[in-house]
Structures are given as structure tokens and as C-alpha cells.
Amino acid sequence: MPTRRVPIGLPPKLLDRVRLAVRRRHLSDRTEDSYVAWVRRFILFHGKRHPKDLGAPEVVAFLSHLAVDDRVGPTTQNQARAAIVFLYRHVLDRTLEGLDAATRAKQTRPLPVVLSRDEVRSVLEQLHGAKRLQATLLYGGGLRLIECLRLRVKDLDLDRSQLTVRQGKGRRDRVTTLPRRLREPLEHHLGAVRDLHRRDLACGYAGVPLPDALERKYPTARREWGWQWVFPASRLFSDPRSGERVRYHLHPTVLQRAVKQAARRAGIAKRVTCHTFRHSFATHLLEDGASIRTVQELLGHRDLKTTMIYTHVLDRGPLGVSSPADRL
């Protein structure tokens, strides 16, 4: 998604220096926005004092505040810590010691929310058009929401019923399943997207953003059909880095709101999000007899322990066993 342009020709402000440091290390746009947000929150917590005048005690106070007062989870607290450590190490050129004194957020291990097959069907029936197509891809391929929205035309292989996820979590690529039932809807959808692309070309737009240095290596690729988003945004944006008129992918909140409303209309009492489809994909594969290693590869998990959590929510009971009371 669009990120803020760093001013050129003026001494950069602190948050702009954070952005530049993130970009020099080729971290993602989402990491950039997250780090900047946490640095801003840290500064506001200490009355807008400049971080160069603060040190480890103030960082410890902020991290403890997150755990005790805001009651954030350990993942959120670790993210805040990583952002502030990055600020001091790579922007202010300082090393912080003694951060372990901060109160740690309470460690929890919540089980994923999983829908039954009938519940998945009932939610999908409440969606229409491109939103239904996106939600079916989330469930049918075990995609994260951002992975679905960042799909490009060249990533779909309709003949082999597979799709390629580029630079997923941890900047790793992987191949996963593409439901055969989506071939005709996808062909129809891509026809409409191609018409939109032709109109964009006629208007002389710059193209779509490309990852890393591909825009310099292949300067015309951003206008080629294969690089276009499968789910483009409805309007053009001004690229915050170059100022050109480009087309980004659909914003995540569009599908997030649609799924939430669809679950409500379907009468599902569970808390249903876009990520619930990914949880359901993994669980249903295990119930169908797929090996845990196969599911790990399809989900793109680095550690098998992450995938093992789905064995606790199978329809045969925790760890895939049935209750002895069912044999009475």
C-alpha cells in the first residue's frame, strides 16, 4: 500500500530518518509503517521528548506500560521493542542495555477459530462478486489476506490448479493450491481486470509498483499484463515515493468488513475474520488425511510447531481423538 514520501533536499526529521533506515535494509512497507507508528507512540508517551534525550529506563517504562496498563499481548510488545531498538541502533547509533527489566506481557496460546465446512459455505454464500472470489481463495489456498491481495496475474496457473505466493511472511515464496472450481470465475474476473488495464494504458498511467529493484531492471514490466494485480483498487493513486499515478491492489479493509458482515448475516456466533479461512483450510486438510508436513508447506510455516496447533481443533476432538463417552 502507499507509503509516505520522504522529503528531498531538507534535513530529514526523525520519523523520516526511521523510514530511510528501514528502506536501506529492504524491509517491507508494512514494517516501515509499523516501526514509525511505534516510534511516534513512544515519543508521545514521554511528552514529545526527543528519543536522543531518553534512554533504557524510559524504554523500559514504555514497554512495561504496554504490558500492565494497555494489556497488550507478547507479540505486540515484542513488535514495539523491535521498533524502538531499531530506532536507537540504526538511526541514533546507540545501544540500549537493560531492557529485560521491562514487565513482560502475559504469554497466552489461544486456539485458532475454525469454521465447519457448512459454516464456510454459509459465509461464502453471503458474499458476491470479487469478494466471494477472494474469500474462496483464502479458504481454498490457505492464504493470508495480504497474500491474496498481492497476487499478480502471472502468479496464477489455472491449468495446473496452483498459485504462487511471492514474498509471503518472512519474504519467502511458496506454491499452494488453487481450487479448480474457481477457474471459470477467475477467467471472467480477469477479463474485467484486463479491460481496466487497457483503459489505464490508454490514459498513460505509470503502471503498478514492482518489488525491490525490478522497476529499474525491467522499466516496462510495470505496464505489462502479467504484472498487474489480480484484485486492483478501484481508482488510481499518486505514488508517495515517485509522485506518479499508479494502481495499487485492493485495500485490506474492503474484504475484512465484507467477511465480518457476511458472518453476521449467516448467523455465525464465532468471531470470523479473513484469517479464519486460513485456519479452516489447514484444519480441514488434516481431517481429510493430509500429512502435517504437507500442510506446513502449503501454509508457509517455518516451524512445524506452528502447524501443530491445528491438531488441537480437529472435528475428532483435541489431538484428533474421540471422547470415551462417545463409546458408551
pLDDT in tens, 242-298: 677 888 999 999 999 999 999 999 999 999 999 999 999 999 999 988 899 999 999
| pTM across the whole model | 0.79
Give CA–CA dist 233/248, Å, rounded. 6
Give CA–CA dist 202/194, Å, rounded. 12
Cell of 64: 512495561
For the chain, give every domain's residue range: 14-101, 109-320
Which residues are known catalytic residues?
A: 144, 169, 275, 278, 301, 310
**End-to-end C-alpha distance for the chain, whole angstroms:** 57
Question: Average pLDDT of 32-39?
Answer: 95
Q: What percent of the chain is helix, strand and coil (3-state, nearest 5)?
A: 55, 5, 40
* Number of other residues whose CB lies within 10 A of the CB of residue 304: 11
pLDDT band at 2 (very low <50, low <70, confident <90, very high): low
> Topology of domain 14-101, per CATH?
DNA polymerase; domain 1 (1.10.150)
pLDDT band at 215 (very low <50, low <70, confident <90, very high): confident
Phi first, then psi: what are they for 20, rounded to 5°?
-65, -40
Residue 185 clears pLDDT 80, i.e. is over it:
yes
Residue 214 clears pLDDT 70, i.e. is over it:
yes
Decide if 251 contacts 261 (C-beta within 8 A).
no
Look at residues 72, 69, 45 and name the one whose alpha carbon lies nearest to residue 59.
Answer: 45
Question: Average pLDDT of 313-328?
Answer: 62
Least confident of 58-72, 138-152, 227-241, 306-320: 306-320
Please provide the CATH number assigned to the domain covering 109-320: 1.10.443.10
Give CA–CA dist 139/281, Å, rounded. 5
Residue 227 clears pLDDT 90, i.e. is over it:
yes
Percent of the chain scored above 90 by pLDDT? 66
Q: What is the pLDDT of residue 319?
A: 56
Decide if 17 contacts 86 (C-beta within 8 A).
no
Please name every residue paired with 156 in a beta bridge, in sequence order, or none if there are none.
Answer: 163
Cell of 135: 474469500
Look at residues 244, 213, 212, 250 and name the one whose alpha carbon lies nearest to residue 229.
Answer: 250
Per residue in 100-159, pLDDT (tens digit) is: 999 998 877 778 899 999 999 999 999 999 999 999 999 999 999 999 999 999 999 999
Give CA–CA dist 325/328, Å, rounded. 5
Cell of 174: 511458496
Distances, alpha carbon 167 to alpha carbons 19, 193, 248, 309, in Å: 20, 23, 17, 24
Q: Which amino acid is at 128?
A: H
Residue 317 clears pLDDT 80, i.e. is over it:
no
pLDDT band at 62 (very low <50, low <70, confident <90, very high): very high
